[in-house]
Structures are given as structure tokens and as C-alpha cells.
Amino acid sequence: MWGIATVPGFSTPVGYTVAKLCRDTPTGTVDSVAARWDAMERLAVIGAGRAQSAAIYAWSAVADSAVDAYDYLGGHQFSGAEAVAAAFWAHLAAKPGAVAEMCIAAAIEAWNTRLPYPATRGAVA
């Protein structure tokens, strides 16, 4: 309803595959997950080379997600900011402003409900 799979010109099956890879990354074996992200990154480069306007941002989000996955699997810190920004830009470029804002708000709400926050959220220890 709000993911990059809803961006016109982007591949819905790839969007679902990226979502599955994101869910599998913290639980799968490093070698198999890294190999799948490597394939997805190569597909993102091909997709971005052929895409028009908004879909380029969606493919960039896929490539940025692959870089974040490599960092995570390698035990390095990462923010995910580039992938999120590219996904949001894809919506802003493809959809009327109000619709894009609803998609972005829905994404943020979905992430917030899935992320574990401490009871003292925002408090300084």
C-alpha cells in the first residue's frame, strides 16, 4: 500500500523480494543473505539504468538497502537514511503531493509499530 512496489515504473515482484530480504537479513545465514543482496544490488543497477523519473529513486532505494545490508552483515553501523530518502523521493516524484504524503506517513507509522522502543523513549539516562 505504501512501499516502493507502488511506484509507477518499478517492479512489484522486486519490491516484494526486497521486503522479504529486509526481513530475512537479521535471521538468515550471512552467506546466503549476502549472496541474495548482491544479486539484488546488480538488478538495481540494471533497473536504474532503464528506469524513468520516479522509478530511478525506487531502484536507488534498493541499491542503498543492499549497501546497508552489507554493513549490517559485516557488523558495521549504518543508518538507512539514504535508502529511506530515496524511497520517499520516489513517492514524491510519482504521485500527487497528498497521496505521496499519505504513503510516507503510512511507512513511518508501520516502521514505528515494528520497532521496539524502550519505555523511557527520549529520556536521557
Q: Is 121 a domain residue?
A: no
Give the pLDDT of residue 117: 65
Domain count, the chain: 1
Residue 121 has pLDDT above 80, yes or no: no
Note whether residue 120 is domain-resident: no
The values of phi and psi at residue 119, to 5°, are -60, -25
31: containing domain: 4-114
Distance CA(23)–CA(28), nearest Å, equals: 9
User: Model confidence over 17-31: pLDDT tens digits?
Assistant: 999 999 999 998 999
More confident residue, 58 or 122: 58
Whether residue 102 lies inside any domain: the answer is: yes
Q: State residue 119's pLDDT score.
A: 56
Q: What is the pLDDT of residue 118?
A: 61
Query: 71 in a domain, yes or no?
Result: yes
Q: Provide the pLDDT for residue 114.
A: 80
Report yes or no on 123 lying in a domain: no
What pLDDT score was predicted for residue 53?
87
Q: Is residue 125 part of a domain?
A: no
Assigned domain for 92 exists: yes
What pLDDT, on the 0 to 100 scale, is given for residue 120?
53
pLDDT attached to residue 124? 47
Q: What is the pLDDT of residues 71-114, one digit of tens each?
A: 999 999 999 999 999 999 999 999 999 999 999 999 999 888 88
Structural domain includes residue 89: yes
pLDDT > 70 fraction of the chain, expressed in percent and rounded: 93
Buried/exposed 45-66: b ≥16 CB within 10 Å, e otherwise: eebbeebeebbbbbbbbbbbbb
